[in-house]
Amino acid sequence: MATTAVPTTESRKSPTTETAQPVEREVDVPTQNDWSTPQAMAIPKEGYFKLEKGRYGAIYPRTPSNYGFSVIAKVKPGREQAVRDYGKTIEAAVKGAPNVLAPLKLHYLRWVLFDVGSGLHFMYQGIFDTDFDKYIEDAVALFNATGVTTVFTNLEGWPEDWRTNNPAVIGFFREHQAPSFLEYGEYPYVTADEIKKALKLKETFSGMLDLMQ
């Protein structure tokens, strides 16, 4: 692992100005290993090891399970069924056109509805191969191209002008993002395309072996 100085949320007061100053500490930043060695990554509560600014804010790191997020937001009153119905909309869209979500470079999606006493909440978990902000930009472009709306219109705080206001959409995702503090990959850093190519190669070899028998 590489060691680097990372800003933290701790602060040190200057003896003259009493102004909070960032404190840097040495941490081990995990590096990418080969796919054959399972890897786990513990992530600081900020969601990153080193603060690097992208187009819209901090850049979140690629982990052994690749890029991803868990977005949690409150459902608007009376919209639970609309959220559940949208799951059926996605199911039908993928059944009709299996590659409809291909631009998002997804591995998996998981949607959850839950209420822990403060109202119904929706959790959107995704693992994908693009960076955080590009995924959101691509998602907005995809929904605009297909004419299909998004499940997020049923959530509190979602911008009304989401089709034309990428910064507002990304702001919503960043505000409601719950960074993970541990991620694990049985085959770390492998992309969805690499997995599909490997399975296609396996299928081809299996066919060749069958012909040789």
Tens of pLDDT, residues 199-208: 899 888 787 7
Q: What is the pLDDT of residue 91?
A: 94
Work out the percent of the chain whose per-residue pLDDT is above 70: 84
Q: pLDDT tens digits, residue range 119-151?
A: 999 999 999 999 999 999 999 999 888 777 789
Q: Above 60 in pLDDT, residue 7?
A: no
Distance separating alpha carbons of residues 131 and 171, to the nearest angstrom: 15
Q: Contact, 60 vs 48, CB < 8 A? A: yes
With cut-offs at 50, 70 and 90, classify the pLDDT of residue 66: very high
Distance separating alpha carbons of residues 67 and 124, to the nearest angstrom: 14
Collect all residues with Cβ–Cβ distance below 8 Å to 44 and sequence separation of at least 6: 6, 8, 27, 181
Distance separating alpha carbons of residues 61 and 4, to the nearest angstrom: 14
With cut-offs at 50, 70 and 90, classify the pLDDT of residue 55: confident
Mean pLDDT of 60-75: 95
- pTM for this prediction: 0.78
Closest CA to 51 of 81, 27, 16: 27
Distance separating alpha carbons of residues 64 and 35, to the nearest angstrom: 9
Task: Specify the DSSP class assigned to residue 60.
Answer: P
Q: Above 80 in pLDDT, residue 100?
A: yes
Q: What is the pLDDT of residue 71?
A: 96
Q: Above 90 in pLDDT, residue 8?
A: no
Q: What is the pLDDT of residue 144?
A: 85
Q: Above 60 in pLDDT, residue 174?
A: yes
Q: What is the pLDDT of residue 146?
A: 78
Closest CA to 119 of 83, 84, 86, 156: 156
Q: Above 50 in pLDDT, residue 152?
A: yes
Mean pLDDT of 156-160: 96
- The DSSP annotation for 64-133 comes to TTBEEEEEEEEBPTT-HHHHHHHHHHHHHHHHH-TTTTGGG-EEEEEEEEE-SSS--EEEEEEEESS-HH
Task: Specify the DSSP class assigned to residue 23.
Answer: E
**Average pLDDT of the chain?**
85
